[in-house]
Amino acid sequence: MFNYSILFNPNVMYVVLGCLLMSVSASTVGTFTFLRKKSLIGDAVAHAILPGICLAFILNGTKNPLYLIPGAFLTGWLSILLVDAITHHSKIKQDAAISIVLSVFFGTGIWLLTVIQHSGMDNQSGLDAFLFGKAAALTSFDVWVFGIVALLLIAAIWAFYKEFQLLSFDKDFAQSIGYKTQLLELLLSGLTVLAIVTGIQAVGVVLMASLLIAPAATARFWTDKLHVMIFIAILISSVSAIIGASVSYIAPSMPTGPWIVMVLSLCAVLTFIFAPHKGIVVKWLKQRRNQQQMLEENILKTFYYLTQTTPDSDKAYFKLTDIQKQRSLRESELNKGIEALISEGYIEKQNDQYYTLTKEGLHQGKRVAHLHRLWELYLTEYLRIAPDHVHDDAETIEHVLTPELQERLEIILGNPEIKPEVK
Amino acid sequence: MIQQVEQPLIEIHDLTVTYHRKPVLWGIDFTLPKGIIAGIMGPNGAGKSTLIKAMMGLVPVGSGYVKLFGEDLKEVRAKVSYVPQKESVDWDFPASALDVVLMGRYGKLKWFQRPRKADRDVAMDCLKKVGMEAFANRQISQLSGGQQQRVFIARSLAQDADLYLMDEPFAGVDIATETAIVELLKEMTSEGKTVVVVHHDLQSAENYFDWLVLMNLRLVASGPIKEVMTKELLQETYGGKLNILTTVTDLLNKQDFPIREK
């Protein structure tokens, strides 16, 4: 069913190469669009390009990219200027301005497209492919043109890397050291429009914003360094372009653009789930670890309280029900905690019913009880909070206080002698 | 009480600034001498930040002019350092503390030029001066508010300027950081540098500043702190005497009137 050998056909390789170049340049420029919080503008520009393409076609009667690019560039840029003008001169906020410009331009584009289709102009078939991309129809000439544009874009970003970085982070400061920020912004938005104009060949007007923004948004999860972020964005978009373009040939009659966007989205979703530090899985594991730590420390603390109330304190044995009398814990939870504590060597099982703290367990229990009391003292004596309000707070804080904080608390409280709180 | 100085380092003449037809600074006129720490104080919305921004050419000026070192800003840019409000940037930006301090060197680099090794040395040195060398590679969003402010000060130091204009460097900062920054500023003025600080807290002002500028849309006072810190002047700045001025301000805004006829 799948014909893999088709991938080595020179025409197909042209298409894959074209998609690759477009995706790479879009994601490079898109990193700055994303960081400057202009993602929505990217979407407006992508839609605003359609009337430009149609007008250029009507005027020149050709689908040669050398004629279509200037037209697309013109209306794309016009949309940016319009959004700025509307926000600046009226009470309309940016999000509303973007919606207005996007829909008006796109509507005009669709109208022009329909006019062209009914006009009977020669050579007009395939123009509607700009809606969803027409990568499969790329000629070697197209690839050359877009390849050169893509290389120019990347070269410009590389050359003005430090200027764009500062502009994106702190525009006022950039201006204060004499950067021509208006010129730089003009240049950057020009590059953005150009990247969108080329990228549209691959994925089309409707999906273009994702080619621009998704790689950067995904890359941001993996790194805190700007140059690494750009590199990862390029990597993600390259992989998506190659896979997307290949799939559309291996399984014929599959559209290229949507496949590229599908792979991009998959990368994004996987990232949101599995990314280090900020991913859902990491956060979930951390929550679980905290819960487990709280459970274990609470059991040790309760055990410790119990030992303090028995005469022969160091070798006292308790039943699980003794714990539950002191502290409301579900049996399943308690069993889980006890099991973990036994395996960690803090608790020993005496026989079927009785448990005792090991020396280390006693130490841990004492530490937690001590921190609990220390925090209560800090709240009552230092922050003058009513004594009957501090217990619940201390129940949580006792688990997070570090030895350094403990030391500081002891110093400001004047090394208080702390007796375990027995309830 | 407006004391003018001979051969001023900063000269502000009849400065008026409007935002969308709404005047936020009215005819500000004052001069500042060299080698001092000056505080700019006034209530919320008094136009303190706007004044500093106008001095740095960051907001369009309706009338009047600013002269630094007796010249236009663009002639002396390399000698002036601006510290924006900490809240004006997104601290989630992918950069380390060192990256941000390095930005202070960009003014000395040409187009296309990357920061050199010597620039890194300077940046590390400036981080050390604010006690942040241990955090050089820390992502900036993981720094506390006080540490972020220290990074901004370090970036400013890296510019190696003669005049420093700082917008609320003590806002949202712990007392240890505030003391450390003040020490640093005093050290800088002892080397002949001049520091202008937008500040909020009246109590600390006397210990921090040599010179005080009080304002509330218009200039109330400018002079040595001992002479300006009087009950009458503070009353005039913070009290409700400005009702007519703010009413006119709103009127201009509502009627869409320009602040100057031409």
What pLDDT, on a 0 to 100 scale, did the predictor assign at position A296?
92
Tell the burial category of B256 from Cβ atoms under 10 Å away from its Cβ (0-12, 13-18, 19+).
exposed
B214: phi > 0 → left, psi -120 to 50 → alpha, else beta; which?
Answer: beta
pLDDT given at position B138:
94
- Side-chain-side CA neighbours of residue A189 (13 Å): 24
**Which residues of chain A are modeled with pLDDT < 50?**
1, 423
Per-residue model confidence as pLDDT tens digits over A342-381? 999 998 888 778 888 888 998 999 899 999 998 998 998 8
Among B19, B90, B119, B120, pick the best mutation site for testing chain A contact (most A Cβ within 10 A).
B90
In chain B, whose CA is at the least distance from the CA of A220? B94
pLDDT of residue A160: 95
Of B88, B99, B107, which is closest to A177 when you measure between CB atoms?
B107
Q: What is the pLDDT of residues B85-132, one digit of tens each?
A: 999 999 999 999 999 999 999 999 988 899 999 999 999 999 999 999
Final residue before a domain boundary, out of A275, A293, A321: A275
Taking the C-alpha atoms of residue A266 and residue A240, their distance in angstroms, rounded to an integer, is 9
Q: What is the pLDDT of residue A239?
A: 94
- What CA–CA distance (Å, rounded) separates B140 from A242? 35
Q: Is the Cβ–Cβ distance between A406 and A371 less than 8 Å?
A: yes
What local confidence, expressed as pLDDT, does residue A128 receive? 76
pLDDT band at B262 (very low <50, low <70, confident <90, very high): low
pLDDT of residue B194: 95
Residue A132 maps to a domain: yes
Say which range, B129-133, B236-240, B242-246, has the weakest mean pLDDT: B242-246
Interface test with A, best of B21, B22, B49, B58 (most A CBs within 10 A): B58
CATH code of the domain covering residue A405: 1.10.10.10
Partners of residue B107 in chain A, C-beta under 8 Å: 177-178
Q: What is the distance of C-alpha B258 from the center of its chain?
A: 27
Residue A345 and residue A250 in one domain: no
A228 to chain B: closest CA residue: B94
Q: Which domain holds residue B89?
A: 10-255
Which helix (H) or strand (E) element contains residue B236? helix B231-238
Confidence of residue B256 (pLDDT cuts 50, 70, 90): confident
Q: Which residues of B touch A165 (CB under 8 A)?
A: 95, 103
Looking at A256, A275, A294, the residue that finishes a domain is A275
Integer distance in angstroms from the first to the last C-alpha of chain B?
31
A92, A162: one domain = yes
Distance (Å) of CA A208 to CA A32, A39, A49, B140, B253 = 16, 11, 11, 31, 41
Residue A14 maps to a domain:
yes
| Cα distances (angstroms) measured from residue A127 to each of A57, A60, A62, A164, A252 | 9, 13, 10, 35, 21
SS3 content of chain B, % helix, strand, coil (to 5): 40, 25, 35
Q: Which of A168, A177, A226 sits opposite B77 (nearest CB)?
A: A177
Residue A419 lies in a domain: no
In terms of domains, do A180 and A256 share one?
A: yes
Q: Tell me which DSSP letter residue B109 carries.
A: S
- Write down the pLDDT at residue A127: 76
Question: Which of chain A's residues have a Cβ under 8 Å away from the Cβ of B139?
Answer: 224
- Contact list in A for residue B96 (CB cut-off 8 A) is 224-225
pLDDT digits (tens, 9 = 90+) for A153-164: 999 999 999 999
Please give the interface size between A and B, counted as residue pairs whose CB atoms are below 8 Å apart. 76
Contact assignment for A173 to B112 by CB distance below 8 Å? no
Report the chain B residue with the minimal C-alpha distance to residue A89. Answer: B20
Together in a domain, A235 and A338 = no
- Chain B CB contacts of A175 below 8 Å: 56-58
List chain A residues with CB under 8 Å of B93: 35, 168-169, 226
**Contact B77/A229, CB-based, under 8 Å?**
no
Q: Do residues A87 and A207 both lie within one domain? A: yes
- Asked if residue B4 belongs to a domain, the reply is no
Examine residue B5 and state whether it is found in any structural domain, yes or no.
no
Pick from B84, B114, B139: CB nearest A173: B84
- Partner-chain residue, chosen from A169, A178, A220, that has the shortest CB–CB distance to B77: A178
The domain boundary residue, chosen from A275, A301, A332? A275
Confirm whether A80 is domain-assigned.
Answer: yes
Looking at the fold, whether A116 and A158 belong to one and the same domain comes out as yes
Residue A122, CB-side half-sphere exposure with 13 Å CA sphere: 3
B189 close to B36: Cβ distance less than 8 angstroms: yes
With cut-offs at 50, 70 and 90, classify the pLDDT of residue B173: confident
Residue A418 lies in a domain: no
Tell me if A49 sits within 8 A of A197, measured CB to CB. Answer: yes
Query: Does A104 fall in a domain?
Result: yes
Residue A423 is predicted with a pLDDT of: 46
- Give the model's pLDDT for residue A18: 85
| Residue B260 domain flag | no
Q: Are residues A203 and A351 in the same domain?
A: no
Tally of structural domains, chain B: 1
pLDDT of residue A312: 66
**Residue B1 placed within a domain:** no
Cβ separation A159–B112 shorter than 8 A: yes
Q: Indicate the residue of B82, B106, B159 with minimum beta-carbon distance to A162.
A: B106
- Kindly state whether residue B97 falls inside one of the protein's structural domains: yes
For the record, the structure tokens of A375 come out as: 């925090």
Query: Among B74, B103, B141, whose Cβ lies nearest the Cβ of A166?
Result: B103
- Domain assignment present for A423: no
φ, ψ (nearest 5 deg) of residue A139: -95, 170
Tokens of A304: 């410790």
Q: Which of A70, A98, A72, A74 is nearest to A85 (CA)?
A: A98
Co-location of A295 and A252 in the same domain: no
| CB within 8 Å: B159 and A223 | no
Provide the number of structural domains found in chain A: 2
B262 part of a folded domain: no
CATH number for position B144: 3.40.50.300
Q: Is the residue at B77 inside a domain?
A: yes
Kindly state whether residues A48 and A146 are assigned to the same domain: yes
| Minimum distance, in Å, between the CA of residue A336 and any CA atom of chain B | 35
Stretch B146-172: mean pLDDT, rounded?
94
Identify whether residues A268 and A295 lie together within a single domain: no
Query: Is B24 within the bounds of a domain?
Result: yes
Q: Which domain holds residue A353?
A: 283-412
Length in residues, chain A: 423
Which amino acid belongs to residue A308?
Q
**Are A193 and A137 part of one and the same domain?**
yes
pLDDT at B240: 64
Chain A positions in Cβ-Cβ contact with residue B74 (cut-off 8 Å): 178
CB contact under 8 A, A175 and B103: no
pLDDT > 90? residue B142: yes
Q: How far apart are CA B89 and CA A221, in angstroms?
A: 20
Task: Answer whether residue A156 is part of any domain.
Answer: yes
Question: What ipTM goes with this model?
Answer: 0.91
CATH code at position A173:
1.10.3470.10
Percent of chain B with pLDDT over 90: 68
Please tell me whether residues A173 and A42 are part of one structural domain. Answer: yes
